[in-house]
Amino acid sequence: MPAFARYLAPLLAFLALAALLYKGLDIDPRTIPSPLIDKPAPAFKLPELKHPDKFISNADFQGKVTLLNVWATWCVACRQEHQNLVLLRQKGVDIYGLNYKDKRPAAEQWLQQFGNPYIVNAFDADGRVGIDWGVYGTPETFVIDKHGIIRHKHIGPITLNAIENEILPLVKKLREAN
Amino acid sequence: MRHERFASRYIQLILVLLVTLMSVNITPVRAAGLEAFDFTGKVDEDRFKALIVQLRCLVCQNQSLADSDAELAHDLRREIYEMMDQGKTDKQIVDFLVARYGEFVLYKPRVEPRTWILWYGPFGLLVIGLLVLMITVRKRKNQRETGFSEQEQQRLNELLGDEANPEPGQEGDKPA
């Protein structure tokens, strides 16, 4: 082996390892890729939060680009992202809510107090619909295209950065698509 | 001196014992919340427990569904129990969970092209290691054979005398 290769090889190996580990710093182990991406939104039929006798199903948000936000009043990070959802609504994004394993009075009071960015909320009392959607930690937000296909899942609170660089560009792109 | 040796032996023994103890998993499967289920009916308790230890809780990721006390783990245990009650097979139940949460729920990844590097990578590394070892050993052997020039070899033989380089036939002259 030529001398320069003998000294260069360990250096290159070290740099490769360093690059790998450096990339690892940015990876959040809590963010688990969803197998539902590019698949039809799982079917559900749930009572509405406000009107327990009225039902909402995934057919209701077909034909337009929508967000489905999974939230609960016991979820601290949901409180954190709530104002950003209100902002998204103001920017004209259609947001549906899945109120996950919550209590009706608490959820309604939350919406009165902090504002209601949702077109309508589905009430998933025992979390079964949450299981079908692969929900493992609130808040989670799905972006669903006009054909009812899930195109994106945002895990954790929606930040202003996520709105600008992730949600809004994707919603725009999906609206323009056929 | 003898005491010292005895002490070091003693420490060694303790270390060995400690390592052995650490490698034994002394925490039994705790199976949180299991008491809520009724195993007198169709659902076999052993089968249920065997399945939930293989599945990962997505909330506390280093705990299985059997160990975790997270809300989601409770829900998923209930879901698995009900599916077993409906007569679903283990495979159907695992497929149900993988379809929703991804392969991450499996502690043992499936063998497929995406996980080949995981399953076969170590054997690949072993083969590479063996190749490197073989090449190195062969190279050293060649070096030993051709390491000296003819003159050097002659000089070495002279210095070492017959001991190192016995003449052919000399062996037979030894007394039996």
Cβ-nearest to B79 among A34, A131, A133: A131
Average pLDDT over every residue of B88-103: 94
Element (H, E) at A99: strand A94-100
Token pair 């290769």 is found at A5
CA of A90 to nearest chain B CA: how many angstroms apart? 32
What is the average pLDDT score of chain B?
A: 81
Q: What is the pLDDT of residue B4?
A: 67
> Considering only CA atoms, which of A61, A34, A57 is closest in space to residue A46?
A57
Pair B40, B80 in one domain: yes
Mutate one of B65, B71, B75 to test the A interface: name it (highest A CB count within 10 A).
B75
Inter-chain touch B102–A32, beta carbons under 8 Å? yes
Pair B72, B127 in one domain: no
Q: Is A96 helix (H, G, I), strand (E, B) or coil?
A: strand
Q: What is the pLDDT of residue A151?
A: 95
Whether the ipTM is more than 0.90: the answer is no
Pair B44, B93 in one domain: yes
Cβ distance B105 to B98 under 8 Å?
yes
Residue B134 lies in a domain: yes
Please state, for a pLDDT cut of 90, what percent of chain A lies above it. Answer: 83
Q: Indicate whether B54 pLDDT > 60.
A: yes
Domain extent, residue B98, equals: 34-108
Strand partners, A142: A68, A153
Q: Is B4 helix (H, G, I), strand (E, B) or coil?
A: helix
Q: What is the pLDDT of residue B173?
A: 52
Residue A2 lies in a domain: no
Residue B51 lies in a domain: yes
Total CB pairs under 8 A between chain A and B? 41
In chain B, which residue's Cα lies nearest the Cα of A125? B75
Cα distances (angstroms) measured from residue B58 to each of A121, A148, B47, B83, B104: 25, 26, 21, 19, 8
Kindly indicate the confidence band of residue B30, based on its pLDDT and cuts at 50, 70 and 90: low
Integer-rounded Cα Rg, in Å, for chain A is 21
Pair B123, B97 in one domain: no
Pair B95, B121 in one domain: no
The amino acid sitting at A169 is P
Residue B16 lies in a domain: no
Average pLDDT over every residue of A63-68: 94
Pair B104, B119 in one domain: no
Pair B118, B99 in one domain: no
Token pair 């072993």 is found at B126
Q: Indicate whether B25 pLDDT > 80.
A: no
Pair B120, B102 in one domain: no
Q: Which residues of B touch A30 (CB under 8 A)?
A: 61
Q: What is the pLDDT of residue A13?
A: 93
A35-39, B17-21, B144-148: least confidently modelled range: B144-148
CA atoms of A149 and A37, how far apart (whole Å): 8
* Count: domains in chain B: 2
Domain extent, residue A135, equals: 37-176
Q: Indicate whether B121 pLDDT > 60.
A: yes
Pair B86, B132 in one domain: no
Q: Which of B108, B128, B145 is the last residue of a domain?
A: B108
Pair B79, B127 in one domain: no
Kindly indicate the confidence band of residue B38, based on its pLDDT and cuts at 50, 70 and 90: confident
CATH number of the domain at A168, please: 3.40.30.10
In chain A, which residue's Cα lies nearest the Cα of B95? A35
CATH number of the domain at B40, please: 1.10.8.640
A79 HSE (CA, 13 A, CB side): 9
Pair B104, B45 in one domain: yes
* Count: domains in chain A: 1
Q: Which residues of B touch A36 (CB under 8 A)?
A: 100
Average pLDDT over every residue of A170-174: 95
pLDDT in tens, A129-146: 999 999 998 899 999 999
Residue B26 lies in a domain: no
Residue B168 lies in a domain: no
Strand partners, A99: A71, A123
Q: Which of B67, B91, B108 is the last residue of a domain?
A: B108
Cβ-nearest to A134 among B61, B71, B100: B100
Q: What is the pLDDT of residue A1?
A: 58
